[in-house]
Amino acid sequence: MSTFLNWIKVLAAAGTLALSSTQATWADRIPIPVPSPSAAKLRGPVVEPATPIARAIRDVLPASIDAGLKRVYEARGYAPFWLTKDGATEQAFFVLEAFSAANDHALNPDNYGPLEFIDRARAAQNAEDWASIEVDLSIQFLRYATHVSSGRVQPNKINKALNIFPDRPKAKDLFHALETTSNFSAFLDSLPLQTASYLRLQIRLGEYREKAANGGFTSIPKGEVLKPEMIDPRVPTLKERLVQEDFLLAEQHSGSTYNGALVEAVKNFQSYHGLEVDGIIGKSTLEALNVSINDRLIQMELNMERRRWMPDNLGDTYVFVNLADQALKVVRNGKTWHTTPVIVGKPYHATPVFSDVMTYVEVNPYWNVPYSISTREYLPKLQANANALSEKKHAGISERKGSCVFKRQLVSLFTAKLPFPAAPGPGTG
């Protein structure tokens, strides 16, 4: 990051981002009083632009600009944030540096265009050109800050089962920090999540990118189930694969017998990837071992995005359900206090995803089956066999008013006439 910052500072000194003795800019030709940070106000009524560059900024603001960002500019009379009469501000250098390092957070730097801004600054000829750079840099700053702090997408727009609504940063708060903070670089560094889980993902992402650059993971051929103490020609390949992912040191095992440290390495691999920890390399473990490093990188990038959707601080005590792992953990003061397996929905009955404050917990609840499931799945089974649900320990079906209707009474009913949702008795469902 420092190399990029030094580079754009050199370009600025040469007149690409700021001024030069040969390049005509709006600041060369027009004396523009730039408000001091203490004088700039980000709230209040619209202030008419007092300078040519301010008027140019007003004129180039796109109609689709974020409403909060528009109000920020209106309240300060459209005075620039990133430009002074001497060229680009230090804050502009810092934000371009942050854009260039977006890859550290599984974001694409090209989406924010740090190099494009340098090219545009080099080619700028008039107030309109500089105003366009100013406005676009503000738009990209708001966009980057939103992406790196709370995610690129709104979760429920890609899946209605994702009932998560990230807390998006507001333009007035971001630009107030831009105006008032004494260390804008540190402020930019504070925008990404600072939680241990996110930082671990970020570190692992860097490590796996390095592994990918060094050739990735070796694929293990299919074969019979491999159990401890078996001799198999695939064992050296298995060893190589586990060494590549740092589950084993090369000197810890030799030969073609699957034993010792190699078995323990497989168990650690299984535990890390949420598999049954038995040291046996069956279908599931072999498939996990043969996931390509590029697929692992995509998983990490997606998990970083998903983690950004969640609150930065989950509280001292919280419950976290890992749907993919089908496991629940209760965390207190940063330590896992309790774990238990959970049952999750199938793709067509997906378990809702949400984050909220828990007020109470009901143990062994009376499990209410949605009306759609009771009519589309249970009723046809009961019409064919009155005892179809007996193995599921369903006590009965509850009417909406609370009366119990036993399963044998449903056999003659038709879907269109079913006036109540099904509700099995206490149990797993």
Residue 231: give its domain's CATH number: 1.10.101.10
423's tokens: 């509700």
Are residues 340 and 373 both part of a single domain? no
Is 195 within the bounds of a domain?
A: no
Residues 6+ apart with CB under 8 A from 203: none
Give the domain range for residue 323: 314-360
Is 300 within the bounds of a domain?
A: no
398's tokens: 């509850």
162-163/353-354 β-pairing: parallel
Are residues 27 and 78 both part of a single domain? yes
Are residues 39 and 178 both part of a single domain? yes
The most distant pair of C-alpha atoms in the chain lies apart, rounded to whole Å, by: 93
Strands (E), 359-423: 397-398, 404-405
Q: Helix (H, G, I), strand (E, B), or coil: what is residue 300? A: helix
Are residues 109 and 245 both part of a single domain? no
| Tokens 């599931």, located at residue | 284
31's tokens: 């004396």
Are residues 60 and 133 both part of a single domain? yes
Q: Which pLDDT belongs to residue 355?
A: 81
Taking the C-alpha atoms of residue 95 and residue 325, their distance in angstroms, rounded to an integer, is 38
Is 102 within the bounds of a domain?
A: yes
Is 205 within the bounds of a domain?
A: no
Taking the C-alpha atoms of residue 312 and residue 196, their distance in angstroms, rounded to an integer, is 10
Q: What is the pLDDT along the chain (429 residues), one digit of tens a residue?
A: 444 333 333 333 333 333 222 322 223 322 333 333 333 444 456 677 768 899 999 999 998 899 999 999 999 999 999 998 888 899 999 999 999 999 999 999 999 999 999 999 999 999 999 999 999 999 999 999 999 999 999 888 888 778 888 889 999 999 999 999 999 999 999 999 998 889 999 999 999 999 999 999 999 999 999 999 999 999 999 999 999 999 999 999 999 999 999 999 999 999 988 889 999 999 999 999 999 999 999 999 999 999 999 887 888 888 988 877 778 889 998 888 998 888 877 776 777 788 888 888 887 776 666 677 777 777 788 777 777 665 555 545 544 444 555 545 555 444 444 444 444 444 444
Taking the C-alpha atoms of residue 93 and residue 13, their distance in angstroms, rounded to an integer, is 12
Please say which residue of 344, 360, 376 terminates a domain. Answer: 360
Taking the C-alpha atoms of residue 59 and residue 55, their distance in angstroms, rounded to an integer, is 6
Is 296 within the bounds of a domain?
A: no
Are residues 377 and 278 both part of a single domain? no
Are residues 94 and 185 both part of a single domain? yes
pTM score, whole prediction: 0.73
Q: Which pLDDT belongs to residue 46?
A: 66
How many structural domains does the chain have?
Answer: 4
Are residues 330 and 247 both part of a single domain? no
Q: Which pLDDT belongs to residue 43?
A: 47
Are residues 37 and 161 both part of a single domain? yes
Q: Which pLDDT belongs to residue 376?
A: 79
Are residues 236 and 166 both part of a single domain? no
Are residues 249 and 366 both part of a single domain? no
Are residues 66 and 110 both part of a single domain? yes
Is 299 within the bounds of a domain?
A: no
Is 298 within the bounds of a domain?
A: no
Q: Which pLDDT belongs to residue 249?
A: 96
Taking the C-alpha atoms of residue 261 and residue 189, their distance in angstroms, rounded to an integer, is 41
State which amino acid sits at residue 20.
S
Is 196 within the bounds of a domain?
A: no
Please say which residue of 360, 391, 414 terminates a domain. Answer: 360
